[in-house]
Amino acid sequence: MGDTATYTARGPAGTAVDPAAQLAGEAAGPAATGGVGGADLGWLRRERSNICAAITMACDSADERLGPAGWRLADAMLGYVRLWPGDGDWAKAVRAAARSAARSGNGRAYAGMLLNAADAEYREGRTAAERIRAREALAVARTAGWRAGEGLALAALGRSHWSVGSLPLADRYLRRALAVHRAIDDPAGEAGALGRLARSAHDRGDLRSALRDYKRALGLADAADSRFGRVRLPAHIALALADLGRYEQAARWSEPAYRLSREAAFPEGVALALTCRAVVLANTGALEAALRTVAEAHAAIGDLADPRAAADCLNRLAGVEAAAGSPGAAERGHGKALQLARTTGYRQGAAAAHAGLAAEQVGRGRYEEAAASCRSALAAAGTELRLVRARVLLAQADIALAAGSPSGAVARCREAEALFRDAGDRLGEVRALLAWGRVADAVPGHGAALRPWRRGVWVASSVGAGPERDTLRSLLGVD
């Protein structure tokens, strides 16, 4: 999330060189035509295996003179790998580079290669190995007196705990990383740590804090002249705005996110920007355009190397498909997201997928399956993922109503509405109010439907949620 610092190279006046900015900037010239969005990186993709093999051979060579060349080449490749993580050949190369750097006695280089190795373990979903490498990097960086490396290692530990849903522990590591980078006036490191804190807040349902910190991280990335941060953060800003119901702003942010990601040949940014665009179109009633964008986003997801990002996109796109009246496609999307989340222990993705499946199963009258999905979602969400809990409550309300417990249904709708409102998720609030009113309208003696429906119309109108607004106005008999 805006991680930008390279580990062994240094620029003018001792500042950290941003290899992603260098590599993408050199490759993505005006005449470039290849790749996801125009950056002509085809040559590097074709030679990637050979380069990784050269790194491995140099670092494992008995000739110790070759080792430094190997791990310096690995360091130079880091910017490219962040854009295109790729397969296990890179992981093998950086492990060899770490061994070579350890033998060299260069503490900073060794810590840097350990961080590269931790990144590779993260991409492969090997959480235990990732934490071992990150802790080793932290110890080596401290011994070498490399404060920036210490901050990066703390951020890597935070990322590791975030990736399996341990958000409080992740936040503690990330706040320590942020403090280190601030103490040494390292805006690139600050941007990385703050961006990841924003993502943690986003997952918890603290949407306003997430948006604030994403924007602050982008400002720091600009100050550090980090193209990687500039490319990666706008899509997350756009998604936070969409979740807050600020659709015009979300649409404005998604356009530069898409353009910059294509220029940098960054598939994750392309997929996230298209996903955001589809969500905005669906939530404002442009369902045909939303489905066309869903198809584009699915094509972009095929280029993603990180199953966590793919799971996030698939869960959101499944919600768009459900809104457009394609429940089968939505259920398949959530099912695929669940499979991907399980490959890396990504609890947030699994919880969202289970909640989405519960909603689709309720819609098809499969209440026993829906109840099981609700239990799985809550087990994965714990007490931290508030918006997942709110979505589960709406599914449980339908289950309770079908089981003849309207009072239980109303209670769950009201609890969901409060969670959505506190988080700032205006569309979720509208949907909870709509469901609450429908229960009250269907079963006498459980309150008046007019109160939640009238508030729902007001909230939906204020954010431009066209389909829900029109449904509520129809229920109220308002033209």
Average of pLDDT values for 356-384?
96
User: For the chain, what is the mean pLDDT?
Assistant: 87
pLDDT of residue 260: 93
Handedness of CA 459, 464, 468, 473 (dihedral sign): positive
pLDDT of residue 449: 79
Average of pLDDT values for 275-280?
98
pLDDT of residue 84: 66
pLDDT of residue 63: 75
- Answer whether residue 36 is part of any domain: yes
pLDDT of residue 17: 35
Average of pLDDT values for 178-190?
97
Least confident of 60-74, 82-96, 353-367: 82-96
Number of helical H runs and strand E runs in the chain: 23, 0
- Answer whether residue 291 is part of any domain: no
Question: Domain of 3?
Answer: 1-221
Helix (H/G/I), strand (E/B), else coil: 10: strand
Identify which has the larger pLDDT, 9 or 101.
101
Other beta carbons less than 10 A from residue 383's beta carbon: 8
Domain count, the chain: 1
Least confident of 250-259, 330-339, 433-442: 433-442
Least confident of 19-23, 65-69, 206-210: 19-23
Two tokens, residue 299: 């094509």
- Answer whether residue 378 is part of any domain: no
Which helix (H) or strand (E) is 195 found in, with range? helix 187-204
CA distance 280 to 93: 41
- pLDDT-derived band of residue 303, with 50, 70 and 90 as boundaries? confident
- Answer whether residue 152 is part of any domain: yes
pLDDT of residue 203: 97
- pLDDT-derived band of residue 15, with 50, 70 and 90 as boundaries? very low
- Answer whether residue 30 is part of any domain: yes
pLDDT of residue 31: 28
CB 457 within 8 A of CB 471: no
CA distance 72 to 171: 32
pLDDT for residue 346 is more than 60: yes
Residues 6+ apart with CB under 8 A from 303: 36, 267, 270, 271
- pLDDT-derived band of residue 103, with 50, 70 and 90 as boundaries? confident
Determine the longest span between alpha carbons in the chain, in angstroms: 84
- pLDDT-derived band of residue 52, with 50, 70 and 90 as boundaries? confident
Average of pLDDT values for 91-116?
87
Residues facing residue 16 across a β-bridge: 10
What's the CATH code of the domain at 82? 1.25.40.10
CB 174 within 8 A of CB 144: no
pLDDT of residue 432: 96
- Answer whether residue 155 is part of any domain: yes
Residues 6+ apart with CB under 8 A from 145: none
Identify which has the larger pLDDT, 360 or 52.
360
pLDDT of residue 164: 94
CA distance 41 to 12: 27
- Answer whether residue 118 is part of any domain: yes
- Answer whether residue 436 is part of any domain: no
Two tokens, residue 276: 């955001």
pLDDT for residue 430 is more than 50: yes
pLDDT for residue 370 is more than 90: yes
- pLDDT-derived band of residue 97, with 50, 70 and 90 as boundaries? confident
- For 395-418, how does the pLDDT look when each residue is reduced to its tens digit (9 = 90+)? 999 999 999 999 999 999 999 999
